[in-house]
Amino acid sequence: MTATSQEVSTRPQINWKAIWRNVYQAGLSVLAALLIGALLLLLNGRNPVDAFASLWAGAFGSVDRFAETLVKATPLLMIAISVSISFRCQIWNIGAEGQIILGAIVSTWVALTFKNLPLVLLLPLTFLGGLLGGMSWSLIAGLLKAYAQANEVITTSMLNYIAIYLLAYVVHGPMMDPQGFNFPQSPLIADALILPRLIPGTRLNISFLVALIMVALTVVFWRTTLGLRTEIVGHSHRVAKQIGLKVALMIALVTGMSGALAGIAGWGEIFGLHYRLIEEIARGIGSLGIVVALLGELHPLGMLVSAFFFAALVTGGNAMERNAGVPFALVDVIQGCVILLILARSYFFRKAAK
């Protein structure tokens, strides 16, 4: 059974009716969430129109702003895909935040340690580092679930906190920039490693393209035998056993893949955006990525749209805080509402149909 949807699109014809239904139900959920947010603001004497206006301007007001939105969408999309693979296997991996951090730490470490390697080797190596960092962090929880039946929600959330402290330790200590005036940050990565910009003058870089490639690969993934095996394990461990699958191995594999993608997101944040390890890497992206995934129905193309939407919310939300004085936390509230409304929608629509 999938996380939110009770429907299965029939194959191989595309069921446009079901897709349309999902889209407008999702749209309604979002609208309702925004209205709740507006209500909260009103109750507190703030002007929701101002707030939303500056939110919109902050997200789409100019080319620069639009590029920022896409910059924010990049890690969200990668995390959403990472989460969707786990969730469709009924593995409730909520450790994206920790996996991004590990990906960031390892890839930065590679960049700083092997700085004498030629670029053509070093850059892919940092990518690999990010991938392996996220994958191994995720595998801790995956293996514990596969072989010790340890609840993955608890283990991954614990690992999130551990990763946050690990990052703090690393930037206050072993990886701290000696020329950084004791700021908790690592040295800058070499200029040559900075990912090329897509639109000059903005922060949009090729990590965005990496995210899009991930989307395309995921679409293909669900049509492969491995993808089908993942879904079978997600639906029923008993059936999976019946057909000869090794469930424990699949759980480990899926968790590893998930973590690898999150680790790549961490790499993208460092090499495309911040160029050094800082404590704010990954803040809040984990839970936001989960919401993006759920709003997108765990489907790659759906998540593409919802990542864009939430990126706009976040970018606009930052502007909203600066310009209209409304706390960014409103966006968190909208996040929470969206999840719950999506969950409830099939129930409400069934009731309305009666």
Partner 1 sequence: MILVEMKNITKRFPGVLANDQVNLTLQPGEIHGLLGENGAGKTTLMNVLFGLYRPDGGEICLNGQPVVFHSPADAIGHGIGMVHQHFKLVPPFSVTENVVLGLPGRPLIDMKAAEAQVAAVAEQYGLKIDPGARVQQLTVGEQQRVEILSSLYRGAEVLILDEPTAVLTPQEAEILSTGLRRMAEQGKSIVFISHKLEEVIKITRRVTVLRAGRVVFSAMTADTSKAQMAREMIGHDLATLHGEQRASVLALAGAEQAAHLEEEAPAEAQEAVILQVENLHVLDDRGLPAVKGVSLTVHAGEILGIAGVDGNGQHELVEAIARLRPIQSGSLAIHEIDATRWETHDFINHQACYITDDRQHEGLILDFDLGRNATLKIFGKQPYSKRGLLQFPAIQAFTRQLMDAFDVRAPTPNVQAATLSGGNQQKLILARELSQSPRLILANKPTRGLDIGAATYINQKLLDERAKGNGILLISADLDELLLLSDRILVMYNGQSMGELAAGRAEIQKIGMMMAGTPLAELESQEATV
Partner 2 sequence: MNLELITLPFIVGWMAASVRLATPILLAALGETFTERGGVLNLGLEGIMLMGALSGFVGAYATGNLWAGVLAAMITGILMGLLMGFFSVTAKVNQVVAGLGITILGSGLSTLLFRLFFGLRTIPPTIDMFPELPVPLLSRIPILGEVLFKQNILVYLTFILVAVAQVVLFRSRFGLALRSVGERPDAADTRGIDVARMRYIGLFIGGALAAVGGAYLPLANLGIFWTQMTAGRGFIAIAIVIFSRWNPLRGLWGALFFGATLALQLSLQTLRLPVPSELLLMLPYIVTIIALVIVSRRAEFPGAFATPYTRSGE
Looking at 93-151, list the stretches that DSSP marks H as alpha helix, in order from N- to C-terminal side. 96-113, 119-148
Nearer to partner 2, 97 or 207 (CB): 97
* Residue partners of 87: CB distance under 8 A and separation at least 6: 2, 3, 93, 293, 298
**Under rule CB under 8 A, residue 350 binds partner 1:** no
**Under rule CB under 8 A, residue 238 binds partner 1:** yes
Q: Match 């053509």 to its residue by tokens.
A: 120
Applying CB under 8 A, the span of 116-124, 199-207, 236-244, 305-313 interacting with partner 1 comes to 236-244
Of residues 271-300, which lie at the interface with partner 2 (CB under 8 A)?
287, 290-291, 294
Residues paired with residue 205 on neighbouring β-strands, in sequence order: 197
Token duo for residue 226: 């491995």
Other residues' Cβ atoms within 10 Å of the Cβ of residue 92: 19
35, 49, 239, 249: residue in contact with partner 1 (rule CB under 8 A): 239
**Under rule CB under 8 A, residue 24 binds partner 2:** no
| CA geometry: angle 293, 73, 128, nearest 5 deg | 85
The interface partner of residue 238, options being partner 2, partner 1, none and the CB cut-off 5 to 8 Å by kind, is partner 1
Nearer to partner 2, 51 or 73 (CB): 51
Q: What is the dihedral of CA 309, 104, 163, 71, to 10 degrees?
A: -10
Q: How far is residue 52's CA from residue 150's CA, in Å, rounded to a whole number?
A: 43
**Under rule CB under 8 A, residue 243 binds partner 1:** yes
CA-based nearest residue to 142, from 238, 60, 249: 249
Residues in contact with partner 2, counted by CB under 8 A, come to a total of 48
Q: How far is residue 276's CA from residue 270's CA, in Å, rounded to a whole number?
A: 6
The interface partner of residue 243, options being partner 2, partner 1, none and the CB cut-off 5 to 8 Å by kind, is partner 1
**Under rule CB under 8 A, residue 322 binds partner 1:** no
Other residues' Cβ atoms within 10 Å of the Cβ of residue 352: 7
The interface partner of residue 198, options being partner 1, partner 2, none and the CB cut-off 5 to 8 Å by kind, is none
8, 120, 148, 353: residue in contact with partner 2 (rule CB under 8 A): 148
Binding pattern for the stretch 183-222 against partner 1, x by CB under 8 A and - elsewhere: -------------------------------------x--
Residues that bind partner 1 (CB under 8 A): 1-2, 8, 10-13, 220, 223-226, 228, 232, 235-236, 238-239, 241-244
